[in-house]
Structure 1
Amino acid sequence: MHVYILLVLCVCVRGVTSFPNGEVEESCQSMTPNHSEFKSQTSSSPYKVSVNSTTFTAGQTITVTLQAAENASEFQGFMLQAREVDGKTAVGRFTSINTVQSRALNCFNIENSTLSQASADKKSHFEATWEAPTNSSLGDIQFVVTFVRDYPVFWNMVNSSTIRSTSPINTPSTTRFTVILLALTFTSINL
C-alpha cells in the first residue's frame, strides 16, 4: 500500500514540475527548465533560432523563427526572449501572439517579454513577432531560446545571430562628441 501511494505521489509531482502548458515564470532569468534531475545538453542544439533582419531600430518588429534541423526530432517546449548581447534580462515584447501554440509571459515586469509553449504538442517550426521598445535605445540584441525535446533532454540558452541596433545611443561621450563636432562645424562656417 505504501509503495502504491509513493508511486502515485511521484507521478503527480513530476507532472506538476514539467510545465507542459508553458507556465514557467520562475525560469525567466536562467531560462532553465525545472527538470531538477536533468542537466542541459552540452552538444550542439538540433534546433535553431533565426530572424528576418540583421539590424533594428526603436519600435521595429522582427520575425523570429524556431526550427528543428532536417532529420531532427521535433521539440515539445521552448522559452524565447530577446536580450541585449550579454544581457541578463528580456527586452522588448512579442506581439500578434498565437495562443494555440504559445503563451506570453511577463518576465522582468515587461508585458509579453517572453514566449513559451502553450502545450506539450510536438513542433518542428514556430514563428513569432517581436517589437523593439519605442521609448529607449537598446544596444545590439540576440534572441535566446531554451528548447525542450522531451522532459529529460533540453538545450539551454541557444542564441540567434546578433541583430545590430541602428538607434542612436545617447551616452555622455556620444553627446560630448556631438557638441564638439557641432562647435567645429560652426567655427568652420564662420571662418
Structure 2
Amino acid sequence: MYNSCGLLFLSFGFTMLEFITCDSDGSLLAGECQRMDINHGKPAQNGEAPFKIEPEYKEVTDSELGKNIIVSLRASAQFKGFMLDARKCDECASAGRFHLIQTEPNNSILICDDRVVAQSNNQRKTIVNVLWIPEETGVFFFRAAFVEDFSIFWLRKPIILTTTASPTTESTSHSTQTSPTVALASPPQCLQYMRYALALLLFSRLCFLGGSSLLMIFRPASKMATMIASVFEPASKTIAVIFVLIKLIKYECACECDSLQIVFSALTVAAMVSSLLHTLTVFLYCGPSHELRKCWLCAIIIVGLMNTIITTTAIFFEIWCFQERWLPLLMGVFVVWEFMLYLGSVCCEQMEKYRSRKNQNRTAEKRISPWLFMFIIFSVFNAMFTAALITGVSLVKTKNS
C-alpha cells in the first residue's frame, strides 16, 4: 500500500512540476532560450498563430545603438505564456537586451542575461509591452513562442532570409521552408516612395499658395504669377502619383498605417485631377469686363477650394503615419496661416478701396501697397512652413520603422 501511495505521489508530483514549469514562472525556461521549445507532451499548432509582434523586424543603424525600441506582443485571443527574443537568424544567439516598462502590468520577467522575455505568471493576457536596446547594427527579427493553454501552443516562427547567393550556399537551404519570405529591402523603399509623394504634395501646395487663383479675384494683376504657379502645381502632383503607383505595383508593403496610406494614395490621385481642373480654369481667365466674369469667378472659387481641401486632406492622412506629433500640429498651423492670407487679402482690398475714395481729389502718393507687403510676408512664411514640413517628412521615422 505504501509503495502504491508513493508511486501515486511521485506521478502526481511530476505532473504538477511539468504544469508549473510550462505554464507558470517563465524563469524556469532559461534552458530553452536558444531553441524556444515547448515540451508539453503534445504537438504544436500548425496554423497561423492569433498573435502579432510589433515590429516583426528592425533594421538598426549606428544612430539607434543604445536607444530604447518598444516591442509589443498583441493577441486577438488571450494567452498565458510566451518567450520573446531578437536575433539575426534562426541559429544566431539572442541579441540586444530587454528592459521592462515600469508602468506596464507585472506579467513579464527577463531571463538569459536580459536577452529573452518570458511570462512571470500564468494569468491570461492579451498584450505585453517591453523595451529592447540594440547593441550592434544590422537587421534583427523579433520572434516569440506563445502558449494559449497547456495543450494549445505555437512554436517560434522560423526566420527566412532572402539571398542572391548561388544555390550551393547554405543560406539558400532555408528557402525550401513554407513560411512567408521577408523581403528586407521592400519596407524601406515603400516608405521612401511615400515620403517622396508627400514632399511633392507639400511643394505643390506652396505653388498653389504662391500664385493662388483665389487671389486673382482681389488682384487681377497677379494673373501671370498664378498661371506660372498653376503649371508647376499639377506637374509636381503628377510625379507624386507616379511614385504612389510605383509603390503600389512594384512592392507589397505591410505597415501599421496601411489604411491611412490607402486613403492617401486615392487622395493623391484626386488631388492631381483637381489640380488639372484648376490649371484649366486659370487659363480660361475672364477679365473684369468679360461677360462671363461671374461664371468664371464661381468656377475658380469652387475648383480652387476643392483643390486645396483635397491636397491638404491627403497631406494630413499621410503625416499621421509619422511618429512625431509636431508634424500634424505644424500642418494645422500652416492651414490656419493660409486662411489668414485670404482674410488679410480681403481686408487689404477693402482698405485700398476706402483710401482711393477718400483721396480721389488728392494727388496719389507713391508708397508700397499694403496688399503687396502682406503678400510678401505670407509668401516667406509659406516657404518656411513648407521647408520645415518637407525636412520633417524626410527625417522623422514612421510608426512601423
Regarding TM over 0.5, the answer is yes
Identity %: 28
Matched, 1:125 2:131: no
Show CA shifts across 1:45-80 (max 9, x none): 0111112985333223221111112xx3x1000000
The answer for the alignment partner of 1:31 in structure 2 is: 36
The answer for the alignment partner of 2:205 in structure 1 is: none
The answer for the alignment partner of 2:14 in structure 1 is: 13
Matched, 1:61 2:94: no
Question: How far off is 1:113 after superposition?
Answer: 0.1
For 1:29 and 1:53, how far apart are their aligned partners in 2?
Answer: 18
For 1:103 and 1:162, how far apart are their aligned partners in 2?
Answer: 32
Question: How far off is 1:28 after superposition?
Answer: 1.1
1:76–1:96: structure 2 CA closer, same or farther, 3 Å change rule? closer
3-state secondary structure, aligned to 1:25: helix
1:39–1:97: structure 2 CA closer, same or farther, 3 Å change rule? farther
Matched, 1:76 2:80: yes
TM-score, length-normalised on structure 2? 0.35
For 2:128 and 2:141, how far apart are their aligned partners in 1?
Answer: 17
3-state secondary structure, aligned to 2:142: strand
3-state secondary structure, aligned to 1:124: strand
For 2:92 and 2:59, how far apart are their aligned partners in 1?
Answer: 21
8 Å Cα contact 2:57-2:142 kept in structure 1? no
**Pairwise CA RMSD of aligned residues?**
2.8
* Residue identity opposite 1:154 in structure 2: F
1:39–1:151: structure 2 CA closer, same or farther, 3 Å change rule? same
3-state secondary structure, aligned to 1:157: coil
8 Å Cα contact 1:102-1:118 kept in structure 2? yes
**Gapped regions of structure 1 (runs ≥ 5):** 167-191
Residue from 40, 45, 50 that aligns with 2:49:
45
Higher strand share: 1
8 Å Cα contact 2:108-2:117 kept in structure 1? yes
Question: How far off is 1:163 after superposition?
Answer: 7.8
For 1:153 and 1:131, how far apart are their aligned partners in 2?
Answer: 31
For 2:130 and 2:115, how far apart are their aligned partners in 1?
Answer: 12
The answer for the alignment partner of 2:149 in structure 1 is: 150
Residue from 90, 96, 117 that aligns with 2:94:
90
8 Å Cα contact 1:104-1:113 kept in structure 2? yes
1:4–1:119: structure 2 CA closer, same or farther, 3 Å change rule? same
8 Å Cα contact 1:75-1:149 kept in structure 2? yes
3-state secondary structure, aligned to 2:15: helix
Larger Rg: 2
What is the correspondence of 1:134-149 to structure 2 with a 5 Å cutoff? 136-137=136-137, 139-149=138-148
Question: How far off is 1:85 after superposition?
Answer: 3.4
For 1:155 and 1:118, how far apart are their aligned partners in 2?
Answer: 18
Residue from 109, 113, 128 that aligns with 1:103:
109
Question: How far off is 1:4 after superposition?
Answer: 4.9
1:42–1:130: structure 2 CA closer, same or farther, 3 Å change rule? same
1:67–1:162: structure 2 CA closer, same or farther, 3 Å change rule? farther
**Gapped regions of structure 2 (runs ≥ 5):** 160-181, 189-401
* Residue identity opposite 2:9 in structure 1: V
Show CA shifts across 1:97-132 (max 9, x none): 5582111112xxxx2000100000010111111000
1:150–1:55: structure 2 CA closer, same or farther, 3 Å change rule? same
Higher helix share: 2
For 1:31 and 1:158, how far apart are their aligned partners in 2?
Answer: 10
1:158–1:127: structure 2 CA closer, same or farther, 3 Å change rule? farther
Matched, 1:114 2:116: yes
8 Å Cα contact 1:85-1:140 kept in structure 2? no
8 Å Cα contact 1:65-1:127 kept in structure 2? yes
For 2:116 and 2:73, how far apart are their aligned partners in 1?
Answer: 14
1:29–1:52: structure 2 CA closer, same or farther, 3 Å change rule? closer
